[in-house]
């Protein structure tokens, strides 16, 4: 779909007002010199104060699409739909979700990169894209330079779990056992190179322990491996293990974020459990193609922040173990860069080959 420019330039509207003023002055008998002086003075004021109405003044004037580079129904997709509904109410224009799954997010991200930089195409970005940047030799987009960040929409850590009858009750138990019996423990995750997988690898590296990280194809496969006792510890997002956790089949030893999760206030973080400095926090957010007006980005940032504070978004996020909190475009840009650097180091250290 082709998207035309979002509206007629603002300057002609100002010129129309200026022309009206000139006609009025001439009609009331002012001399040409006086009229010229008034016009020149007005222009100086406009340039000095930035009074000329900009693109953001009437944005949005038509529906806005939000590309989600994954399939419908996932936790990030549902969160984005709640945010989109809230933005639609606030702006009086429809913000609609367009799911563009494929190739691990590449299809959607490429579509967003090729869209006009007019503010009418937003794209959901996330921590997984920073891993992809570190893991793949080349991609048809650059998460660091092809997009202008707007804000995060949610952040969330993983849970480190074990079977309910496991002898491990704390992270210290796990580390102590691994050091006493090198090479005997299995840590389960999903696919090699995923955030879950790299989180386990980072844990192994920082703890200085000899364990085996076993990647499974899907979260259900991983859950079954935990319950069968095939793996001793697993790293996964809370929503993936919510059922066995709430049913009492699994116990949560720790969470990987810096702070305790809102929905698990009695569960310590890995860092406070003995592995000081360990932190893995995934996140989702919104961005626009590079070159989009900074005023539009600022306007969207403020609106997204307000949407995230809405009761419906807060409740859904808390129930899912997420922290719905925004940040400035500059903060998100710095987060993207730091995450790419962090995962590049982890991938290199554990010897994962770039694809």
Give pLDDT tens digits for 125-164.
Answer: 999 999 999 999 999 999 999 999 999 999 999 999 999 9
Pairing assessment for the beta strands 147-163 and 233-237 based on DSSP bridges: antiparallel
- Structure confidence at residue 45 (pLDDT): 42
29: confidence class by pLDDT, cuts 50, 70, 90: low
> Which sign, positive or negative, has the C-alpha torsion 62, 67, 73, 77?
negative
**Which tokens sit at 157?**
């850590």
**Per-domain boundaries in the chain:** 10-53, 57-154+283-350, 157-273
In the chain the beta strands, taken as DSSP E runs, fall at 64-68, 95-99, 121-126, 147-163, 186-190, 212-216, 233-237, 250-255, 281-289
May I ask the CATH architecture of the domain 57-154+283-350? 3-Layer(aba) Sandwich (3.40)
Percent of the chain with pLDDT over 70: 85
Mark residue 52 as left, alpha or beta (left: phi above 0; alpha: psi -120 to 50; beta: remaining): beta
- Which CATH fold would you assign to the domain 157-273? D-Maltodextrin-Binding Protein; domain 2 (3.40.190)
What is the pTM for the complete model shown? 0.78
Q: Is the peptide bond before 259 cis (omega within 30 degrees of 0)?
A: no
How far is residue 194's CA from residue 188's CA, in Å, rounded to a whole number?
12
Q: Of 8-17, 189-198, 222-231, which range is least confident?
A: 8-17
Q: Of 94-98, 289-293, 320-324, which range is least confident?
A: 320-324
Number of H helices, E strands in the chain: 12, 9
Please check whether residue 191 is in contact with residue 197, taking contact to mean a CB–CB distance below 8 angstroms.
yes
- Structure confidence at residue 116 (pLDDT): 98
- Structure confidence at residue 174 (pLDDT): 98
- The DSSP 8-state label assigned to residue 268 in this structure reads P
Task: Give the three-state DSSP class for 187.
Answer: strand
């Amino acid at each position: 779909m082709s998207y035309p420019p979002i509206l007629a330039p603002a300057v002609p509207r100002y010129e129309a007002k200026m022309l009206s003023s000139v006609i009025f002055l001439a009609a009331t008998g002012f001399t040409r010199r006086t009229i010229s002086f008034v016009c020149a003075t007005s222009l100086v004021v406009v340039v000095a104060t930035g009074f000329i109405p900009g693109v953001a003044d009437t944005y949005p004037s038509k529906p806005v699409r939000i590309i989600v580079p994954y399939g419908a129904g996932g936790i990030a997709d549902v969160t984005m739909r709640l945010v989109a509904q809230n933005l639609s109410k606030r702006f009086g224009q429809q913000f609609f979700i367009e799911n563009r799954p494929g190739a691990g997010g590449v299809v959607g991200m490429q579509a967003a990169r090729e869209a006009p930089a007019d503010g009418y195409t937003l794209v959901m970005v996330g921590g997984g894209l920073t891993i992809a940047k570190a893991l793949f030799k080349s991609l048809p987009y650059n998460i660091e330079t092809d997009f202008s960040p707007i804000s995060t929409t949610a952040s969330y850590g993983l849970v480190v779990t074990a079977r309910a009858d496991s002898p491990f009750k704390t992270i210290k138990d796990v580390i102590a056992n691994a050091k006493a019996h090198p090479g005997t423990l299995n840590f389960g995750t999903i696919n090699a190179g995923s955030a879950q997988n790299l989180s386990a690898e980072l844990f192994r590296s920082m703890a200085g322990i000899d364990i085996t990280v076993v990647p499974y194809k899907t979260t259900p496969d991983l859950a079954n491996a935990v319950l069968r006792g095939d793996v001793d510890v697993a790293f996964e997002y809370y929503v993936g293990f919510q059922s066995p956790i709430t049913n009492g089949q699994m116990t949560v030893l720790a969470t990987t974020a810096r702070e305790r999760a809102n929905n698990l206030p009695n569960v310590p973080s890995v860092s406070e459990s003995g592995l000081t400095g360990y932190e893995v926090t995934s996140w989702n957010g919104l961005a626009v193609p590079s070159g989009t007006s900074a005023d539009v980005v600022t306007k969207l940032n403020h609106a997204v922040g307000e949407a995230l504070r809405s009761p419906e978004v807060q409740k859904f996020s808390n129930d899912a173990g997420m922290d719905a909190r925004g940040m400035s475009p500059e903060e998100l840009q710095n987060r993207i860069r730091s995450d790419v650097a962090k995962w590049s180091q982890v991938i290199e250290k554990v010897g994962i080959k770039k694809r």
